[in-house]
Amino acid sequence: MALEHQSRLQRSILVVERDSSLQYSATKASNNCMRQQFATKINVEIAQYAADFVKRFGNYFGSDPCVPNPPIRDFGYLYLSDSKDFTQVLEKDQQLQSQLGAGTQILSGKTVKEKYPFFHTDDLDSASLNTKDEGCFNALGMVEWMRSASCENGVEYVSNEVVNLFVVNDQVEAIELRDGQKIRASKIVNAAGTRASQVASLAGIELPVEARRRYTYIFSVERPLEQDLPLTIDPSGVHFRSYTENDYLVGCPPIEPDVAVDVNDFTFAEDAWKEKIFPIISARIPQFSTARITNSWMGHYEFNTFDHNAIVGPHSNIDNFLFCVGFSGHGSQQAPACGRGIAELIVYGVFKTLDLSALSYDRIPRGLPLLERAVI
């Protein structure tokens, strides 16, 4: 949670972090992916801003060893379709993406086999591929670098937890921390991730954000592929990509059902590797039949159950209480644009770089979802 408050400076920023180590943060568990293949205009635009931001990161923050060269590993995203119906969905999305300048192409199953001969494609109808500004980047390294830079510029960080909000006449006047401190603030930003609904409830606000399990495994094989593996979304929902030069990352949602979990529960509730992942990756890429797990973790999506999209901007009635939450698995790449948007609201009172008003909180009480279909 971030606050604009009065302290030694005329206007200052305080960031309250429950876990300053970021050990249990969504960023720590992130698969660090970048893509423009979304089904809504604003999400494509946000992704394009993010790609530009990552590529210019050194210009903003100085020479930075956490950003590799090139800053985005452009192996691309590859959505596989095994039906005519889903191909039509991909084609519709591709038209939108193309109108906005993304380089997405629809490929036949035969073309997929020609470009990536290691795939089993007999069951495929088509695929959607973009290899420009789509791939992976070092999200955690950039977060740590930006936190250091913000401290140098006067931002205060405290390792603590917000346990109460004091709302008077439709304004949050102050917060209370776990250790009893009360801090007055003129603006409060709820960026509490999977705990965003808990923080909102302190102001009497219901927020449709919950924690959802997502599994990630790193594995190696006896004979690595001869080219980069794009982040491939199999029709089963399992997704996999190159990780380092000779190993791979694979992830998936729970086998069934995909429901809310406790924000403190980071256990593996099932053997997703044995029951779902390995059978799928070894069938799709026969070379992966020798796959051996080298690392694994379970992280949480801060899932927006209303429409799978971020919630950015002020509450409808308590207008000094702002949200930057509900990214539903896209937070690492959407944070640059949405964070800038929140900063512009605080400083100027309006969005300037990108109009993020489609993601406003107001759509929730009005019952007007902006549904994002392309959630992995």
Q: Say if residue 357 is in the same domain as residue 322.
A: yes
Tokens 């801060």 appear where?
302
Query: Which CATH number does the domain housing residue 172 bear?
Result: 3.50.50.60
Q: Which domain holds residue 295?
A: 210-303
- Pair 178, 200 in one domain: yes
Task: Specify which residues 133 forms β-bridges with.
Answer: none
φ/ψ (deg, to 5) at 304: -85, 105
b/e map 206-239, b = 16+ CB within 10 Å: ebbbbbbbbbbbebbbeeebeebbbbbbbbbebb
Distances (CA, A) of 250 to 19, 117, 282, 300: 26, 19, 12, 15
- Residue 66 — very low, low, confident or very high, per pLDDT cuts 50/70/90? low
Q: What is the pLDDT of residue 9?
A: 40
Q: How far apart are CA 230 and CA 207, in angstroms?
A: 35
Render 339-366 in DSSP notation, one character per residue. Answer: HHHHHHHHHHSS--SS--GGG-GGGTTT
Q: Percent of the chain at pLDDT above 70?
A: 95
If asked whether residues 291 and 243 sit together in one domain, one would say yes
115 assigned to some structural domain: no
Does residue 203 sit within a domain?
Answer: yes
Q: Residues 162, 194: one domain?
A: yes
Q: Are residues 204 and 214 in the same domain?
A: no
Which position has the higher pLDDT, 350 or 10? 350
Task: Based on the fold, state whether residues 177 and 195 are members of the same structural domain.
Answer: yes
Q: Are 198 and 316 contained in the same domain?
A: yes
Residue 7 lies in a domain: yes
State which of 255, 273, 303 marks the end of a domain: 303
pLDDT in tens, 338-369: 999 999 999 999 999 999 999 999 999 999 99
Q: The domain that contains 277 carries what CATH number? A: 3.30.9.10
323 shares its domain with 251: no
143 domain-assigned: no
209-220 and 247-252 as β-strands: parallel, antiparallel, unpaired? Answer: antiparallel
Q: Quote the pLDDT of residue 24.
A: 83
How far, in Å, CA of 46 to CA of 156, rounded?
28
Q: Quick check: is 159 in a domain?
A: yes
Final residue of a structural domain among 267, 284, 303? 303
- H helices within 191-277, ranges in order? 196-201, 272
Determine contact, residues 11/4, Cβ cutoff 8 Å. yes
Cα–Cα distance measured from residue 302 to residue 192, given in angstroms and rounded to the nearest whole number:
9
Closest listed residue to residue 225, CA positions, set 251, 250, 249, 246: 246
Give the containing element (helix H, strand E) for 212.
strand 209-220
Domain count, the chain: 2
CB 231 within 8 A of CB 251: no
Q: Is residue 43 part of a domain?
A: no
Residue after which a domain boundary falls, among 303, 328, 349: 303
What confidence score (pLDDT) does residue 8 get? 41
Answer yes or no: is 41 within a domain. no
